[in-house]
A and B are shown apart, each in its own frame.
Chain A
Amino acid sequence: MTLLSSARAQEEEVRPEAEAEAEPEAEPEAEHRHDEALEEHFDEDEAFEDDFELTVEGVADATIPDIAPSSASELSIDPGLLRAVPRTSAEQLLTLVPSVFLVNHSGSYHASSVYLRGFDAGEGQDLEVLVDGVPMNEPSNAHGHGYADTHFVMPEVVRRVRATPGPFSPEQSDFAVAGTVEHELGVVDRGVRIGISAGSFDSQRLFAVIAPHHMGEGTFLAVDLRRSAGFGTHRASLSAGAMGRLELELSRDLTLHVLAAGHFAEFSSAGVVSARDVAAGNYGCGPSLDEQRFCTPDPNQGGASARGLVSTGLTLNAPGSELSVVVFGGYRSLRIRENFTGFLVDPLGDGLDEQYQVGMLGVRGRYRSSFTVFHRAQVMDLGIIVQRHDGDSRMLRLRRTDGAPHSAVFDDGIHLTHIGAHVGLDLSFIDELDARIALRADAFALSATERALSDLDRMGERLPEFSTDAFGIALQPRGTIRAHLWREGVAPDDGDPNTRDVPARQLSWTTSFGLGTRSSDAIALSAGERAPFAEVVASETGFTLDVLEGDLDLDARVAAFHTYVGRDLQFSPTQGRNVFIGSSSRIGAQAYLRVKHQQWLDVSASFAWNEAFILAEGASDWVDFVSDVRLPYVPRWVGRLDAAVSHPVEILGQGFQLGAAIGVGWLGERPLPLGGVSESVVLADASANLGWSIFQLGVNITNLFDARWASSVFDYQARWDTDLPASGLADNHYSMGAPFSIMVQLAVAFDETDPFGENVEPEPEPDHLHVHAHPHLHRHVHDGSDEAGEPEMAPELAPHVHGGEASHSYAPLDHGPDAAPAPPGDVLAPDTSAPEALPSDLPALPSHDDPALDVLEDGPAFPSESPPASPEVLP
Chain B
Amino acid sequence: MNRVLLATATFLALAAAHGCVGTPGRRIVANLEVGMLDLASATRTGWEVDVTQAALLVSAVRTRDVNRPPAVAFMQALVLAPHAFAHGGHGESDTTVLASWVGSEVLVLGEGPSSMVLEGRAGTTDRGALVLGGVVGAGDERAAALHGLPLWVEGTATQGEMVVRFAGGIPLPEAETERLVEGIEMAGDIDDGVTLHLDIDLGVAFDAVHFERLVAGDDGVAPITEGTQAALALRIGLGDLSAYVATVTAAPQPAP
Q: Flag if B27 contacts A674 (CB, 8 Å).
A: yes
B93 at the interface (CB under 8 A from A): yes
Is B31 located at the chain interface by the 8 A CB criterion?
no
Do the beta carbons of A573 and B86 come within 8 Å of each other?
Answer: no
Which residues of chain A have C-beta atoms less than 8 A from B18's C-beta?
A: 611, 613, 626-628
B82 contacts A by Cβ under 8 Å: yes
Shortest C-beta distance, B86 to chain A (Å), equals 5
Q: Taking the nearest CB of chain A, how far is it from the CB of B128, in angstroms?
A: 11
Pick the interface stretch among B99-107, B153-161, B225-233.
B99-107
User: In chain B, residues 157-204, which have Cβ atoms closer than 8 Å to a Cβ of chain A?
Assistant: 176
Inter-chain contact B82/A676, CB cutoff 8 Å:
no
Q: Are A675 and B27 neighbours in the complex by a CB distance under 8 Å? A: yes
B contact residues around A575 at 8 Å (CB): 78, 81, 91
**CB < 8 Å: which of B4, B26, B60, B88 contacts A340?**
B88
Task: Report if A630-B23 is in contact (Cβ < 8 Å); known contacts: A521-B82, A523-B84.
Answer: yes
The verdict on A331 contacting chain B, using a C-beta distance below 8 Å, is no
Q: How far is the CA of A842 from the CA of B178 in the complex (A)?
A: 90
B45 within 8 A of A: no
A376 at interface (Cβ–Cβ under 8 A)? no
Question: Is A714 interfacial (CB-CB < 8 Å)?
Answer: yes
The reply to whether the CB of B24 lies closer than 8 angstroms to some CB of chain A is: yes
Q: Judge whether B59 and A578 touch: CB under 8 Å.
A: no
- Contacts A628-B21, A724-B102 given; does A410 touch B93 at CB 8 Å: no
A725 vs B131: C-alpha distance when bound (angstroms): 8
B8 interface residue, CB < 8 Å from A?
yes
User: Is B119's CB under 8 angstroms from A625's CB?
Assistant: no
Give chain A residues whose Cβ lies under 8 Å from the Cβ of B8.
Answer: 560
Residues of B41-74 whose CB lies within 8 A of A: 59-60, 62
Which of A40-48, A138-146, A193-201, A310-318 has 4 or more CB atoms under 8 Å from chain B?
A138-146
In the bound complex, CA of A272 to CA of B88 (Å): 10
A587 to B16 CA separation, bound complex (whole angstroms): 11
Partner of B89, one of A588, A636, A733: A733
* Contact, CB under 8 Å: A728 / B97: yes
A727 touches B21 (CB 8 A): no
Distance between Cα atoms of A521 and B87 in the complex (Å): 13
Complex contacts, A609 vs chain B, CB 8 Å: 15
* A578/B86 in contact, CB under 8 A: yes
Q: A297 CB to closest chain B CB, in angstroms?
A: 13
Which residue in B7, B21, B84 is a CB contact (below 8 Å) of A578? B84
Residue B14 interfacial (CB < 8 Å): yes
A571/B91 in contact, CB under 8 A: yes
Query: CB-CB < 8 A to A142: which residues of B?
Result: 85
Q: Does B236 contact A (CB under 8 A)?
A: no
- Cβ-closest chain A residue relative to B103: A724
Give the residues from 719 to 769 in chain A that come closer than 8 angstroms, CB to CB, to chain B: 723-730, 733
In Å, the complex CA distance between A517 and B29 comes to: 42
* A520: Cβ under 8 A from any B Cβ: yes
CB of B84 within 8 A of CB of A674, answer: no
Which B residues are in CB contact (< 8 Å) with A354?
A: 87
Q: Mark A607-648, 1 if CB is under 8 A from B, else 0.
A: 001010100000000000111111111001000000000000
Q: Which residues of B contact A629 (CB under 8 A)?
A: 21, 23-24
- Decide if B39 is an interface residue (CB 8 Å cutoff): no
B97 A729 Cβ-Cβ under 8 A: yes
* Cβ-based interface call for A525 (8 A): yes
B100 near A338 with CB under 8 A, answer no
Question: For chain A, what secondary structure do more than half of its interface residues adopt (helix, strand, loop), or is it mixed?
Answer: loop
Q: C-beta contact mask, A669-695 vs B, less than 8 Å → 1, else 0?
A: 001111111000000000000000000
Would B90 and A633 count as touching, CB distance under 8 A? yes
A523 and B87 in contact (CB under 8 A), knowing A509-B4, A727-B100?
A: no
Contact of A574 among B12, B94, B104 (CB under 8 A): B94
B89:A729 contact, CB within 8 angstroms: no
In the assembled complex, the CB of A873 is this many whole angstroms from the nearest CB of chain B, namely 54
Q: Which of A573, A577, A677 contacts B84 (CB 8 A)?
A: A577
Interface residues on B, range: 35 or more
Q: How far is the CB of B80 from chain A (nearest CB, A)?
A: 9
Q: Which chain B residues lie closer than 8 Å to A144 at the CB level? A: 86-87
Closest approach, in angstroms, between the C-beta of A449 and any C-beta of chain B?
A: 14
Q: Are A725 and B15 in contact (CB under 8 A)?
A: no
- Shortest distance in angstroms between A777's beta carbon and chain B's nearest beta carbon? 30
| A576 contacts B by Cβ under 8 Å | yes
A537 close to B (CB within 8 Å) = no
- Would B15 and A673 count as touching, CB distance under 8 A? no
- CA distance in complex: A627, B15 (Å): 10
Residues in B with CB closer than 8 Å to A338 are 87-88
Is A600 located at the chain interface by the 8 A CB criterion? no
Cβ < 8 Å to B, chain A residues 220-255 = none
State whether B59 touches A728 (Cβ < 8 A).
no
Q: By CB atoms of chain A within 10 A, which of B25, B86, B99, B134 has the most?
A: B86
Is A429 at the interface (CB under 8 A from chain B)?
no
Interchain CB contact under 8 A, A570 and B100:
no
**Which listed residue, A340, A524, A574, A717, touches B82 by the CB 8 Å rule?**
A524
Please name the residue on chain A nearest to B121 by beta carbon.
A674
Partner of B60 from the list A574, A631, A712, A724 (CB cut-off 8 Å) is: A724
| A120 at interface by CB-CB < 8 Å | yes
B residues near A630, Cβ cutoff 8 Å: 21-23
B88-A571 in contact (CB<8A):
yes
Query: Which residue of A145, A524, A571, A675 is within 8 Å of B22 (Cβ)?
Result: A675
Q: Which chain A positions have C-beta within 8 A of B88?
A: 338, 340-341, 352, 571, 573, 714, 716
B120 within 8 A of A: yes
| A728 with B96: CB separation less than 8 A | yes
CB-based contact B27/A676 at 8 Å: yes
Q: Determine the chain A residues whose CB is within 8 A of the CB of B94 once the complex forms.
A: 574, 717, 726, 728-729
User: Quick check: is B92 within 8 A (CB to CB) of the other chain?
Assistant: yes
User: Smallest CB–CB gap between B32 and chain A, Å?
Assistant: 13
Q: Tell me if A613 and B82 are in contact (CB < 8 A).
A: no
For B17, B60, B100, B102, the residue with the greatest tally of chain A CB atoms inside 10 Å of its CB is B102
Instruction: Tell me, yes or no, whether B135 is within 8 Å of chain A by CB.
Output: yes
Q: Is the CB of B91 within 8 A of A716?
A: yes
A577 & B82 in contact (Cβ 8 Å cutoff): yes
Residues of A within 8 A of B91 (CB): 570-575, 579, 716
Q: How far is the CA of A591 from the CA of B218 in the complex (A)?
A: 88
A105 within 8 A of B: yes
Whether A625 touches B14, Cβ cut-off 8 Å, given contacts A144-B87, A521-B85, is: yes
CB closest chain-A residue, reference B17 = A626
- A532 on interface, CB distance cutoff 8 Å: yes
- Specify which of A272, A578, A588 lies most central, judged by the most chain B CB atoms within 10 Å of its CB: A578
Nearest CB on B from A178, distance (A): 16
Complexed CA–CA distance, A571 and B87 (Å): 8
Q: Is the CB of B23 within 8 A of A671?
A: yes
Give the distance in Å from the alpha carbon of A25 to the alpha carbon of B60 in the complex. Answer: 84
Interchain CA distance A105-B92 in the complex, whole Å: 18
Q: A395-B85, A525-B82, A673-B92 are in contact. Are A729 and B120 (CB under 8 A)?
A: yes
B11 nearest in chain A by CB position: A560
A143-B87 contact in complex given A560-B11, A611-B18, A630-B23, C-beta closer than 8 Å: yes
A532 near B14 with CB under 8 A, answer no
A628 to B119, CA, bound (A): 24
Tell me if B251 counts as interface (CB < 8 A to partner A): no
Residue of A nearest to B99 (CB): A729
Distance of A574 Cα from B89 Cα, bound (Å): 10
Q: How far is the CB of B190 from chain A (nearest CB, A)?
A: 12
Query: Could you tell me the distance between the alpha carbons of A395 and B14 in the complex, rounded to whole angstroms?
Result: 44
Residues of A569-600 at the interface with B, using a CB-CB cut-off of 8 Å, are 569-580, 587-589
Query: Complex formed: what's the CA distance from A786 to B120 in Å?
Result: 51
Known: A717-B93, A733-B89. 10 other contacts (CB 8 A): A144-B87, A521-B86, A674-B25, A724-B103, A726-B102, A727-B101, A728-B96, A728-B97, A728-B100, A729-B93
Can you give 13 A-B contacts (C-beta < 8 A)?
A142-B85, A338-B88, A524-B85, A572-B92, A578-B82, A578-B85, A579-B77, A613-B21, A628-B21, A673-B23, A714-B90, A723-B135, A727-B102
Binding site for A on B (CB under 8 A): 4, 7-8, 11-12, 14-15, 17-19, 21-27, 59-60, 62, 77-78, 81-94, 96-97, 99-104, 119-121, 131, 134-135, 176
